[in-house]
Amino acid sequence: MVATIINGDEIAKTIRKEIKVEVDMLKAKGIDPGLVVIIVGEDPASQVYVRKKGEACNEMGICSETAMLPASTTEEELLELVDKYNKDPKFDGVLVQVPLPKHISEERVLLRIDPSKDVDGFHPMNVGKMLVGADCYLPCTPHGCQELLMRSGNDPAGKHVVVLGRSNIVGKPVACMLIQKAKGADATVTVCHSRTKNIAEITRQADILIAAIGQPKFVKADMVKDGVVVIDVGVNRIADATKKSGTRLVGDVDFDEVSKKAKAITPVPGGVGPMTITMLMKNTVQAAKVHHGLVEKC
Ligand code: GUN
């Protein structure tokens, strides 16, 4: 079997058109959705993500600001800045890029974001709402994975989804979303992690495999069954002497091998990546609607 490529760029483009229509509608009512992205330190990958978030805002007509703080910023200074943006009506979304420098508690910072402005869906209040299946801001990467499945005709309902990884950003929330009794979910989910025994035995049972462990090309052809649907969340930079930069991006899945067995697979780049930022734009528009009383509180 030769896999269908699930084209994240194309699917994201379609959703961005839908979002743009909503932004234009809000603007016609005098509502200007706004997002502030706070980044602390010089992590190059984070800087790329933050730049892309700003570019996506521009493309959608969403007002955006980026607060770039030095790595030496104290936790108290960061908390004060979060407070300032929480109060500023110009911004519907307040996002703090993670990871943060080690001397800052991610937990305390995320807890400080106004839950109604938590467009990342990282605040424990939104995480809790997601767990019980209430309306909330869904975390962007897991939501992007779900949209990729649905819009490529791979509804997870009744399927065995195996998630590789248990991070707070992807593994845990995507598993939680897909077990809900809801459209785009209703799956049977197994979560594997660094202490799981016989991982390949479990991954071979997957109808849908979601890989989010940050290990370049970890998933090999002998770890999947024929006809599996693969969502590769990994973004790993590896050495490649044939490239001008000397490096290239690969996922957590060995694409060349696994795509020969899979029914469908996301590439890296061009799979999950563009979806994450698109879902962030969607949450920001939702937050603007919440703040202007157009929808029930999220
Ligand atoms: N770091 C990696 N992914 C994300 C994300 O979706 N949001 C934030 N705030 N930080 C991240």
Q: What would the pLDDT profile of 34-72 be if each residue is shown by its tens digit?
A: 999 999 999 999 999 999 999 999 999 999 999 999 999
* CA-based torsion, 26, 115, 140, 280: positive or negative: positive
97 lies in the same domain as 155: no
The pLDDT tens digits for 267-290 are 999 999 999 999 999 999 999 999
Domain count, the chain: 2
CA 69 to chain centre: 23
Q: Which range marks the domain in which residue 169 is found?
A: 140-274
Interval between CA 98 and ligand 1 midpoint (Å) = 5
* CA-based torsion, 186, 298, 151, 140: positive or negative: negative
Residue 69, in any domain of the structure: yes
Q: Give residue ranges with CB within 6 A of ligand 1.
A: 95-98, 120, 140-141, 169, 276
The pLDDT, as a whole number, for residue 6 is 98
The CATH number given to whatever domain includes residue 259 is: 3.40.50.720
User: Is residue 296 pLDDT above 90, yes or no?
Assistant: no
The pLDDT tens digits for 199-218 are 999 999 999 999 999 999 99
The encoded tokens of residue 165 equal: 């990884």
Could you identify the residue written with the tokens 């509608």?
Answer: 25
Last residue of a domain, one of 115, 132, 166: 115
93 lies in the same domain as 213: no
To test the ligand 1 pocket, which listed residue (36, 143, 169) has its Cβ within 8 A of the most ligand atoms? 169
Reply yes or no on whether 47 is catalytic. Answer: no
For residue 258, which of 233, 291, 232, 286 has the smallest C-alpha distance?
Answer: 232
User: Is residue 12 pLDDT above 80, yes or no?
Assistant: yes
152 lies in the same domain as 262: yes
Residue 16, in any domain of the structure: no
User: Is residue 1 pLDDT above 90, yes or no?
Assistant: no
Residue 201, in any domain of the structure: yes
User: Is residue 115 pLDDT above 80, yes or no?
Assistant: yes
Confidence of residue 85 (pLDDT cuts 50, 70, 90): very high
